């Protein structure tokens, strides 16, 4: 049996753009994708902390170190520039894999610059 758990998240990033005319998806700074372990075109869940919207789309890379986080296509209607987002991806794990598992958390500042990459268990131990 496999179970679905959080694999990685980019925490509290800032929406920098919304392009209704784009084909679809969310553009994310390629460096942030890499640090989180999120692949181009991988399914992601996006939570908009400003308005409570939750939706699923897929990630596409924006230029590395650009700080770009942009909603595209229909998703562009689900946020405005400056909204704070959480971008998450999930994985399927066997019971054996779960023994050494901890999600990756990418923490950024208000301009989507990388502050740190943590393991979720490390963050919880400080609460």
Is 75 known as a binding-site position?
Answer: yes
Catalytic residue among 58, 90, 101, 120: 58
Is 57 known as a binding-site position?
Answer: yes
Contacts of 109 (CB under 8 A, 6+ apart): 115
Is 74 known as a binding-site position?
Answer: yes
Cβ(121)–Cβ(24) below 8 Å: no
Catalytic residue among 22, 25, 90, 100: 25
Cβ(62)–Cβ(31) below 8 Å: no
Q: Is 25 a catalytic residue?
A: yes
Q: Point out which residues pair with 17 in neighbouring strands.
A: 70
Q: Is 66 a catalytic residue?
A: no
Catalytic residues: 25, 58
- Binding region: 57, 73-75
- Binding region for substrate: 57, 73-75
């Amino acid at each position: 049996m496999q179970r679905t758990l959080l694999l990685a998240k980019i925490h509290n990033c800032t929406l920098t753009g919304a392009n209704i005319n784009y084909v679809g998806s969310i553009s994310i700074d390629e460096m942030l994708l890499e640090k989180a372990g999120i692949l181009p075109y991988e399914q992601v869940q996006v939570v908009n902390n400003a308005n409570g919207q939750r939706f699923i789309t897929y990630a596409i890379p924006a230029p590395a170190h650009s700080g770009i986080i942009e909603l595209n296509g229909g998703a562009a209607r689900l946020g405005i520039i400056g909204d704070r987002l959480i971008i998450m991806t999930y994985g399927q794990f066997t019971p054996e894999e779960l023994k050494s598992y901890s999600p990756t958390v990418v923490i950024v500042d208000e301009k989507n610059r990388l502050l740190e990459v943590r393991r979720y268990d490390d963050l919880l131990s400080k609460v």
